[in-house]
Amino acid sequence: MNPHDSWAHVYDLVNQESFGTLYTRLCSDTNHLCQQLCQQSPAGRGTCSILDIGAGTGRTAIPLAQQGHRVTAVEPSVPMCEEIRRKAAGKDFEKNLTIVSERIQDYQAKENAYGLALCLFTVIAYITTENDLTRTIQTISRTLKSGGLFLLDIPQIELFRPDQSYQTQQLQRKVHIARQLNEENLYFYEENAQITIGQKTIRYTDSFLLRRWSDEEIINLCENNGLISQEDQNQFLRERFGWTGAAYYLFRKT
Ligand SMILES: C[S@@+](CC[C@H](N)C(=O)[O-])C[C@H]1O[C@@H](n2cnc3c(N)ncnc32)[C@H](O)[C@@H]1O
């Protein structure tokens, strides 16, 4: 089982119910930012070739494909991939989407293929070993064109708080996060929830490991692999997305 397999079909609704207008704002700000980055990528004002890592149900992949960009969504959870497929089925933009059901560290990406790579909404924390993180960053660097951009968010300590509970008329959701003994930055994530849609109540459980990478670990690894932190834009990203509990960083391939 991959993370979120058990609730992929209600993933969007659960997030919308859990975070309400903040989730709406995050989706709209993220899409706006990605559009701007496409214009700064090697494609310039044309359509961009985008790698969306851990694409989930297509929160960023779908709107970018709708805008005419070519998006490859790499997502290990088959049920999450099915959600992307379902949203695109029979639509004009379906041809702009390629869906790869794989972990990013195993993905055999073409060299110099993408103008923009995205790793958004805490995806980096699902990569839990140094070896897998290194393979991930190497893959991103190899597959970006020269001048291509890499946008990621790094979850900060507040997103690993032990108990989180969300309750609306439709949703009852409890998240428990426990630090693993002997492993300072490794956490066991577990959630139990039920969501009501019409007359139907859906219950699910989910559990997996997460790692809290420090900003420095990620920045150093990126810079050692030819991905240069864009300090001028990172200050702006901190101001715009600081409220999310994750630090957003932009890198450009040399
Ligand atoms: C919190 S979701 C974020 C989904 C999406 N990026 C978004 O913004 O809504 C994290 C996603 O990362 C995916 N994931 C987990 N491990 C991964 C890996 N090794 N490579 C690529 N994606 C992974 C999960 O399956 C899940 O869909």
- The pTM of this model reads 0.98
Could you tell me if 95 and 150 lie in one domain? Answer: yes
State in Å: Cα 76 to ligand 1 middle: 8
State in Å: Cα 55 to ligand 1 middle: 6
Atom of ligand 1 nearest to the CA of 74: 21
Q: Is the CB of 124 inside a 6 Å radius of any atom of ligand 1? A: no
Could you tell me if 36 and 149 lie in one domain? Answer: yes
CATH code for the domain in which residue 234 is found: 3.40.50.150
Parts of the chain with a pLDDT under 70: none
Q: Is the CB of 134 inside a 6 Å radius of any atom of ligand 1? A: no
pLDDT in the model for residue 124: 98
Q: Whose CA is nearest to atom 18 of ligand 1?
A: 103
pLDDT in the model for residue 236: 95
CA distances to 39, 63, 101, 116 from 3, in Å: 33, 23, 13, 25
Closest CA to 247 of 161, 119, 75, 73: 119
pLDDT in the model for residue 182: 87
Number of independent structural domains in the chain: 2
Could you tell me if 17 and 114 lie in one domain? Answer: yes
Q: Whose CA is nearest to atom 16 of ligand 1?
A: 126
Per-residue pLDDT tens digits for 96-139: 999 999 999 999 999 999 999 999 999 999 999 999 999 999 99
Q: Quick check: helix, strand or coil at residue 126?
A: helix
pLDDT in the model for residue 176: 98
Q: Is the CB of 246 inside a 6 Å radius of any atom of ligand 1? A: no
Could you tell me if 165 and 198 lie in one domain? Answer: yes
State in Å: Cα 53 to ligand 1 middle: 7
Could you tell me if 196 and 218 lie in one domain? Answer: no
Output DSSP code: residue 93. G
Single-letter amino acid code for the residue at 111: E
Single-letter amino acid code for the residue at 5: D
pLDDT in the model for residue 46: 85
pLDDT in the model for residue 181: 87
The domain of 20 spans: 5-158+213-253
